[in-house]
Amino acid sequence: MATISLTRIKAFIHSIRWKITVAYLLIIVVAFCVIGYSLIQLVGEYLFTQRTADDQRIANDLAKNCGDYLVAFDARSLYDTAMDNATTGQTRVLVLDKLCTVQVDSDSRLNGRRFITAEVERVINGADSDYGFYDTGSAVKPWFRAAFNGFSGVNVMTGLYASAIRGPGDELVGVLVYLSGVQEIYESLRDIQLKILIWLIIVAAAVMVVNAMVLRTVTRPIGELNTGISRMSQGDLSARVVVRGNNEFASLAKAFNSMSERLEQLDKSRSQFVSNASHELKTPLSTMKILIETLMYQEPLDPGMAKEFLGDINQEIDRLNRIVSDLLTLVSIDNGMKMNLSELDIGALLQEQVKRLTPLARENGIELDCSAKESVEVDGDTLKLQQVIYNIIDNAIKYTPRGGEVHCTLSRTGKKAVIKVSDTGVGIPESDLPHIFDRFYRVDKARSRETGGTGLGLSIVKQFVLLHGGTIDAASTFGKGTTFTIELPLSGKRQED
């Protein structure tokens, strides 16, 4: 259980979701720290500047008022002045003589003591006034000078303003010290800090929620895709993913589904092909086995029958040979067959094949003609194009009954050479028409074998035409005849013309 939890934790830490979350948090924290620091600095500086100016002015005014009193040793007036300007817990006034001895303290706690600070020292040595800030609430260091721009840990921050008390002749007779609590400024800054912290938490939480939602829309399709790929890798080619929305992930899901669909079809085709090939190969072998066994177990052996059986066996071997030859051709095409391309006259090639098959047509009582009088050049492999045209015309002759007609035409349409072979044969049912170029596909399986076909001819024809950059199409009306149309691109020179 623990191992599983650890694994899940590790997986989570390595996940994009965690990394993006950490990155977002980092950005938010850094942004808030920078903004908060700047804000507190600005506000604090403004408040302190204002307060310092006000308090220093008060100290200077008090020092002016106290000059005559201090010279005249008028303790009561000094004390009353100090008390008038002191507020319990907020401000405090000290009057020092020029030996820094406290003569008047509005709190009456330091009278008689020497009060020596850096500010007092500077005033004693000639400055008109000076100020500083002290943390007066620290039990450990009651009078250490605190930072101006730092307030964490400050207990009671107090501003100390020293101002020179001058007597007759502008002579320094003492120092007035005005202590003013500035803790409320620190409290304000602490409030701001707290609010920034609260906002940081709120914004971080909000961003985390939004982040989780956004990440879910990103990682969910990835997860589903991952599941689909895993299923496919385990052989389940029917795996599909749900397409949601219309974004990049939806496109990816569609592509995946399309790919898996295609793979499934290929797998089916491969299975079909293997099945068909096995079947095609097994049929002549079975025939030969029967013939041979008949010969083997016949006593006494009839020479005539033996000759006939051997002739049949020879035909089956020829058929096997053709099938294997066609399969090799297809394999060769699938593996990237090399083409011996050259400019050739396709009209001459067509007439040559018509001429070659004319005896076969006459034998079957079929009229074969060709109307290809103009010269049309294409870039092609002569042998393969010969095989294409021969197969198409041979098929037309085979599936046209005696007394029928086969017409071959050649024309130029645009930048293509168009060869049409029409017959008045049995035609192809409409349902079979889309599959006639599939390997081992037969419209009429019994008759096809009778005619010695392998079921691979049209597949080879189509592959050859595709290798030449052309197309092949069949149009047929069942019982009336079929027309094959082959379009080949004209040679480069012809296209320029």
Partner 1 sequence: MRTTARLAALLVALCLVLSGCVLGEREPETVNEIRLPEAPQESENMILGEMLMNGLNEVTLYYPAPDGTSFSTVRRGVRSEAGQSLHEAALNALFDGSVGQSVRFPGDVKTLSCEYACGTATVNLSIDARNVQNPQELLALELAIGNTLLSIEGTRGVNVLIGQLSEGFWQLPLGVMTAPVASATADYAQIQAERERSTQPEGDPIERYALLYFPTDGGEWLVPELRPISARSGGFIRALIEALKQGPMDEACAIAALPDGVDLMDEAPEIQTLSSGERVLDLNFSPTLANYMAFSGLEVWELAGSLALTMCSFLPELDAVRVMVNGEAITMCELDGSIVRFPEGLIHREDFSVKIGSTTTLYLVNDADRLEPVRRAVSMRSALSPRSLLTELLRYAGNQDGLHFPLSGGVYPEDFLGVQASGGIARVNLSGSFYRGCQGLDESGERALIYSMINTLCQLSGIRAVRFYVEGSPADTLAGSVYLKSVLLPNPGIVASPADTAPPSQ
Judged by the rule CB under 8 A, the positions of this chain that interact with partner 1 are 10, 13-14, 18-19, 22, 26, 29-30, 33-34, 36-37, 40, 72-76, 78-79, 83, 97-101, 103-108, 111-114, 116-118, 121, 124-125, 132, 141, 144-148, 150, 152-153, 193
**Is there a contact between 158 and 76 (Cβ–Cβ < 8 Å)?**
no
To partner 1, the closest distance from the beta carbon of 150 in angstroms equals 5
To partner 1, the closest distance from the beta carbon of 6 in angstroms equals 12
To partner 1, the closest distance from the beta carbon of 141 in angstroms equals 7
To partner 1, the closest distance from the beta carbon of 199 in angstroms equals 15
To partner 1, the closest distance from the beta carbon of 56 in angstroms equals 19
**Nearer CB in complex with partner 1: 119/438:** 119
Measured from the Cβ of residue 348, the count of other Cβ atoms closer than 10 Å reads 14
**Nearer CB in complex with partner 1: 106/491:** 106
**Nearer CB in complex with partner 1: 157/419:** 157
**Nearer CB in complex with partner 1: 65/485:** 65
Q: How far, in Å, CA of 187 to CA of 189, rounded?
A: 5
To partner 1, the closest distance from the beta carbon of 77 in angstroms equals 10
**Nearer CB in complex with partner 1: 18/273:** 18
**Nearer CB in complex with partner 1: 104/488:** 104
User: What is the CA 431 to chain-centroid distance, rounded?
Assistant: 43
To partner 1, the closest distance from the beta carbon of 41 in angstroms equals 9
**Nearer CB in complex with partner 1: 26/305:** 26
